[in-house]
Amino acid sequence: MLRRLIFCTLLFLTVFRFPSAAQSRSEKEKSPASKAANSSADKPGTVESRVEQYLRNLYAWGPTFDVKVGPSKPSPIPDLLEVPVTVSMAGQSDTAVVYVSKTGNFLLRGELTDMLVDPFADTRSKLHVGTSPTLGPEDAKITLIEFADFECPSCRQLDLILRELLPRHPEVRLVFKHYPLTDIHPWAMTAAIASQCALQQSPADFWKMHDAIFDAQDVITPSNVWDKLRDLANQLGLRADAYKACIINPETASQVNAIIEEGHTLSISATPTTFVNSRRVLGPDKSTIEQYIIFKESPE
Length of the chain counted residue by residue: 300
According to the model, what pLDDT value does residue 43 have? 52
According to the model, what pLDDT value does residue 68 have? 92
Q: CATH 3.40.30.10 region(s) of the chain?
A: 121-297
DSSP characters over the chain: -HHHHHHHHHHT--EEEPPPHHHHHHHHHH-GGGG-TT-S--STTSHHHHHHHHHHHHHT--TTSEEEE---EE-SSTTEEEEEEEEEETTEEEEEEEEEETTS-EEE-S----TTS-TTHHHHHH---TT--EES-TT-SEEEEEEE-TT-HHHHHHHHHHHHHGGG-TTEEEEEEE---TTT-TTHHHHHHHHHHHHHH-HHHHHHHHHHHHHTGGG--TTTHHHHHHHHHHHTT--HHHHHHHHH-HHHHHHHHHHHHHHHHTT--SS-EEEETTEEEESS-HHHHHHHHHHHHS--
**Residues 67/9, Cβ–Cβ less than 8 Å:** no
According to the model, what pLDDT value does residue 47 have? 86
According to the model, what pLDDT value does residue 91 have? 81
**Residues 96/85, Cβ–Cβ less than 8 Å:** yes
- Give the number of other Cβ atoms within 10 Å of residue 5's Cβ: 10
Residue 96 pairs in a beta bridge with 85
Terminus-to-terminus CA distance in the chain, angstroms?
44
Distances 128 to 131, 132, 143, 252 between C-alpha atoms, Å:
9, 9, 11, 19
Report the amino acid identity of residue 122: D
According to the model, what pLDDT value does residue 234 have? 97
**Per-10-residue mean pLDDT, the chain, length 300:** 47 42 38 42 70 85 88 89 89 86 84 84 95 96 97 98 96 97 97 98 98 98 97 97 97 98 96 96 96 74
According to the model, what pLDDT value does residue 3 have? 47
According to the model, what pLDDT value does residue 135 have? 97
Task: Specify the CATH number of the domain 121-297.
Answer: 3.40.30.10
**Residues 58/51, Cβ–Cβ less than 8 Å:** no
